[in-house]
Chains A and B, each alone.
Chain A
Amino acid sequence: MSTKDRGQADAVTLQLAHRFDAALDRLEQARPFAKGSHQAVVLDLAGRLLKRSDGLAALAERAPRFDPAGVFLGSDWHQPECLLPRLVRQTLATAPVPTVVLEVLSELRMLAIARGDATHAGFTQEQARHFLMQILALSLDRVFGSPGEADRERLGELGDALQQLFGLIVEQVGFEGILAHLIDEIWRVLAQRPIDVAGVKAMIAQISVALADGAGDTGELRLGADRLVSALFGPTQASSDDPGLPAYRGRLATLDGVALQHEARGFARAMHDTGLVSAYHALFLRWIHDNGQRELLAPALGLSPTGTDALQSYPALVHRLLDEAIHPETSQAAYGLALLLERGLLYAPPMAPALWRQIHLALSPAAADTLANVFGSTRPPRTHLLAGVLMLLGQPLGIGQGNNPTCQSARALSMWAINDPDFLLHLVVQAARTDSITMHFEGQELRSADLPPGLALQQPLDTDPVSTLLVGHLDRIYAAMGRLCADRGEDPHRWINPEFHGWWVGRDFAIAVDVATGALCDHDTFVRGFYGHYHPYYNGMTPVIHPQPAGLAITDAAGDFVGWHAITLLRVALDQERVMRVYFYNPNNDSGQDWGQGVVVSTQGHGERFGEASLPFEELASRLYIFHFDRSVCEPTGAPPVDEIERVGAMARASWAATRVPPAAAAQADAPGPPQG
């Protein structure tokens, strides 16, 4: 509905709108302590209005009053500056009706602020506009498509209102705005080279539809969009018109050697440019494998001399991996294979035989079921698992925890893929054959099959194949290790981390809080220790040798404590601007996060390798609460400047540690414990 139609609301809507006004008046008059019951009434009436075809427009007119009346008071929506655009999508897609209604009212308020019809202290018109743009970018399906069956079931007539709402937002921020933003967003995510790109691929598909419909005709925008769309749907000369797989296969037979070379390089360029692998690319690789054109494999994977050498050292293995694992449905495995070769992993003695074992692996019925449930049955489960292994070995930093509280397990998988790949394959085989894995804690054997579930109460469904198979087992073992040292009166990570991950995790341990009370404890010493063991200027220029687990206190955009989180410290180095940065791995699916106080995690542009997150040393130190080190190989050689240590401490105390400053903290603070998520 456009603004022009607003005058013609029918009588029923008009009457409902009057009832809404009366309820809003009561809410507005009520003192803050008495607003609760009035809020429920306002929400209920708003929900009823939204079911009318012109109800959204009626609410939009009243939106400037929502904030001052206290519609959002006491809820998560009260401070617009703290709202996260990506949660909007989640709320609209899964929340119960009253929450969806509140979310809609919040968006109408944003629209009012963006129009300049309303103000909110500390939140500008430009911020509101930006927020709306991000929502659109993340919910393009709502703009372009009709609501799905699940939506219809849950929301009934409210679904139409949601579509109208997105129509209003498009009207306000413009279509160009979304596409540009969406494309930026996709490039930002791709720069982290995630293994799971299903969501990104779906968005690109929608963009391509939108472009075909004539949206976004301006030059630069078109270019960025074209690169994405063509990477998926037509990366080469012979596939550029997106002819469909059978037609493309037919064309290949007619191409001469030069043209095939051209195709190979085209695919490789698109893959390394975006991290996305087109289904045509997978088909091309299989075709050259089957048609005696194997010399095209190196150019088609875009291999450097290093990768090419690895390929030439293990030609039978590599071709077999291609044949077994890379299909149009598992095309991303081609990128994994290319990077695995580039990493020189095959030169480690156990790797080639371990991969042969993986190729011949017969899965247990339970393991096969688990994988088939998540990845479907077009290809056998072992194909998906092998593809998953290639992706994880090629992109150790591309693994994410999905929407599961299992950051520990995702971090461990990533760490082994970097540092101990043959051990990773050992675990995969154990789990796939026997439905159990065995690890040891200080000599005591732990079998996952004998243990109760840990933090992940159900099988993760939104992760890569290796996580799907292993996370449940790892999670149980991690929890069991926690129980074995629960009574030691100190933070259990001290013992779990080295036992769980590997010998290289430092046995020396520092923690910034008192475990019993959760209060900040000798923070300056903690920070100085971190500088002394990790900062090259104060540790005798010793680099980080192995990936080291560490614990962060995660804060939100307002700097408030959110929870404890597990990361891996990877490198400490100067960036292009001579700023000393910590490069780390965050098992969270998107590392680019705003942690408040100007601490914004960078994922590109500051010397990050694909999948790395980074922060200036000082900023990371301000959020750190646990780290490991090894006195026997690295000792502090100098003292960091006092003012820098003070700044770090001040940032911690003004954010996550605000309620933990002793002695006042004591009782109310959340004591840290094993459930890092």
Chain B
Amino acid sequence: MNDPQADKGYVALLGWSLNAIDAIDRFDRRYVVVAPDWAESYCTEHDIPYIGWNFERLNDRSHEIAEILEREGVDVAIPLFEETVEWAGAINSVLLSNPRLLGQSMLMRDKSLMKRRAQLGGIRVGIFEEAHDRDDVIRFLKRVNQALLKLDGDPNDPIHFKAFDKAGCLGHRVIRTVEDVDSITDGEFPALLESHLDGWEFAVEAWIWNGRVRFLNISEYVHLGYSVHVPASPELERYRPQVEREIEKLIETFDIEFGFIHPEYFVTNDGQMYFGEVAYRPPGFKVFELLERVYGFNAYQALALCFDPKTTEEEIEAFFPKEVVDAKGYAGSFGVYPRRRVVSELAIPEETASDPYFDYHELTAPLEEIVTKRTAFGTHWGLVFFHGDDPVRLAELLKKQEALDYYV
């Protein structure tokens, strides 16, 4: 189907993302999808190039897929999900004859190691510790609050609890009390504990080629786990030069030559940047789709461009628009969680439906009536997309959605 150019690279997509496959199929590079067996019949039916592989933990057989792809003539592997990041590292260390890439990807997959590495690189991080059981969590909660000179009975400052190797909000809990600790299950350990930073949390999407950032987007979290918009508001964009310096430090510390990173930062009231974590794969909340909505370029194709060792400087120059100034309006997405315990149908709230910024939604009718109780941040049921010219209005609108029922 797609029309690859002979002088361009051959990329492997690790993991199953229809939007990614669609985008690369429409691009000018040869590709193959590496996905579990269940994808095979779909790929055969739709003529999608496919190699079957079940991504579990890296193991003795990891080398096999690298060899298969090498024989196939693939130039580079692109991870689409958190779970395929270390696979991409392992595969690319073979394909690109660069053993360092495996180690680099392992760093990206362990939030604790990642933080220590950042710290070693002179990047400012919050207080953090590793936890192996609930006692560790309680101890950290108490120590942090002692340090803040809280007395017994004062409301605690919260701490953050994050599974080592999960994407985004999966396995992310906010802990305020000892009771909160009880609800953590054994399976969630080991985990990373972090102090809470009062400030502005945001994410960055950076496409890197030849050791340099070629496009840098700042995604503004209106409310972490609920909503995000791009580009960031002018207030946050003020920090762009600082953000760029932080990203350069990150590139240097983690020794990143090419590809795409998705780090998270806090900027505190005094303008100080704190590094949260970094991922080596596309972000959630369909930020790629939001970017395409405002900038018009396809972010998945940009991935292929920045991973492909055969890409030229001219191609990169021609591909990316100019940050912020080239954006047409602001696009935001809101993750819907049902607010009731029992729901029977999807009903877009009237005030949302009639809002001029409401773009479209990807919600579907509920499959079951009983809503399982949310633990941690949980997973949203689908996204609602907004688009408009005023970032302040957009942010207010996104915030307002949290109080509305989409499922009744």
Contacts and interface: CB of A to CB of B under 8 A. Distances in A.
A15 B46 contact: no
Interface stretch (B54-62, B106-114, B126-134, B356-364): B356-364
A22 B387 CA distance: 11
A19 B18 contact: no
A529 B26 CA distance: 57
Nearest to A51: B353
A238 B362 CA distance: 65
Interface string B366-390: 0000000000000000000001000
A51 to B, nearest CB: 9
B360 A23 contact: yes
A45 B362 contact: no
Nearest to A98: B365
Contacts of B21: 31, 33-34
B22 interface: yes
A19 B26 contact: no
A32 B46 contact: yes
Interface in A39-73: 40-41, 44-45, 48
Contacts of B293: 22
A34 B19 contact: yes
A9 to B, nearest CB: 14
A22 B385 CA distance: 13
A37 interface: yes
A351 to B, nearest CB: 56
Given A19-B359, A31-B26, A31-B46, 4 more contacts: A33-B18, A37-B18, A40-B364, A41-B360
Contacts of B151: none
Nearest to A41: B360
B46 A33 contact: yes
Nearest to A12: B356
Interface in B1-40: 1, 18-19, 21-22, 25-26
A30 interface: yes
Given A15-B356, A22-B293, A29-B26, A34 B18 contact: yes
Nearest to B17: A34
B394 interface: no
B319 interface: no
A315 B44 CA distance: 76
A34 B353 contact: no
A632 B61 CA distance: 74
Contact of B362 (A12, A30, A37): A37
B22 to A, nearest CB: 4
Contact of B22 (A15, A22, A30, A48): A30
B42 interface: yes
A31 B22 contact: yes
Contact of A33 (B48, B360, B361): B48
A119 B283 CA distance: 41
A30 B359 CA distance: 19
A45 B22 contact: no
A37 B363 CA distance: 10
A112 B257 CA distance: 53
Contacts of A44: 360-361
A100 to B, nearest CB: 16
Nearest to B354: A12
Contacts of A40: 362, 364
13 contacts: A12-B356, A15-B356, A19-B360, A19-B387, A22-B359, A31-B26, A32-B46, A33-B18, A33-B45, A37-B362, A40-B362, A41-B361, A44-B360
Contacts of B387: 19
Contacts of A33: 18, 21-22, 42, 45-46, 48
Contact of A31 (B25, B353, B356, B359): B25
A62 to B, nearest CB: 16
B217 to A, nearest CB: 20
B26 A48 contact: no
Nearest to A19: B359
Interface of B: 1, 18-19, 21-22, 25-26, 42, 45-46, 48, 293, 353, 356, 359-362, 364, 387
Classify chain A's interface size. Answer: 10 to 19
A31 B387 CA distance: 25
A148 B217 CA distance: 53
Contacts of A23: 360
Nearest to B388: A15
Nearest 5 pairs of A and B residues by beta carbon: A34-B22, A33-B46, A41-B360, A34-B18, A31-B22
Interface string A2-18: 00000000001001000
Contacts of B360: 19, 23, 41, 44-45
B393 to A, nearest CB: 14
Contacts of A12: 356
A45 B385 CA distance: 12
Contacts of A32: 46
Nearest to B21: A34
A33 B33 CA distance: 14
A41 B384 CA distance: 11
Contacts of A37: 18, 362
Given A19-B387, A22-B293, A31 B1 contact: yes
A44 to B, nearest CB: 6
A48 B25 contact: no
Contacts of B42: 33
B336 to A, nearest CB: 14
Nearest to B385: A41
B353 to A, nearest CB: 7
Contacts of B19: 34
A32 B18 CA distance: 11
A23 B362 CA distance: 12
Contacts of A19: 359-360, 387
A34 B22 CA distance: 6
Contacts of B1: 31
Contacts of B353: 48
Nearest to B387: A19
B362 A41 contact: yes
A30 B24 CA distance: 11
A12 B26 CA distance: 33
Nearest to B298: A29
Nearest to A44: B360
B302 to A, nearest CB: 16
Contacts of A41: 360-362
A32 B2 CA distance: 12
A30 B18 CA distance: 10
Nearest to B22: A34
A391 B145 CA distance: 90
A45 B362 CA distance: 11
A12 B353 CA distance: 12
A48 B42 CA distance: 32
Nearest to B353: A48
Nearest to B2: A31
Q: Which of A19, A34, A37 is most buried by chain B, counting CB atoms within 10 A of its CB?
A: A34
A23 B361 CA distance: 11
Interface string A507-519: 0000000000000
Contacts of B361: 41, 44
Nearest to A20: B360
A30 B42 CA distance: 16
A19 B353 CA distance: 13
Nearest to A15: B356
A32 B22 CA distance: 9
B383 to A, nearest CB: 11
A34 to B, nearest CB: 4
B351 to A, nearest CB: 14
Contacts of A29: 26
Interface string A315-353: 000000000000000000000000000000000000000
Contacts of A31: 1, 21-22, 25-26, 46
A132 B299 CA distance: 43
Contacts of B26: 29, 31
Contacts of B45: 33
B140 to A, nearest CB: 42
Contacts of A48: 353
Contacts of B359: 19, 22
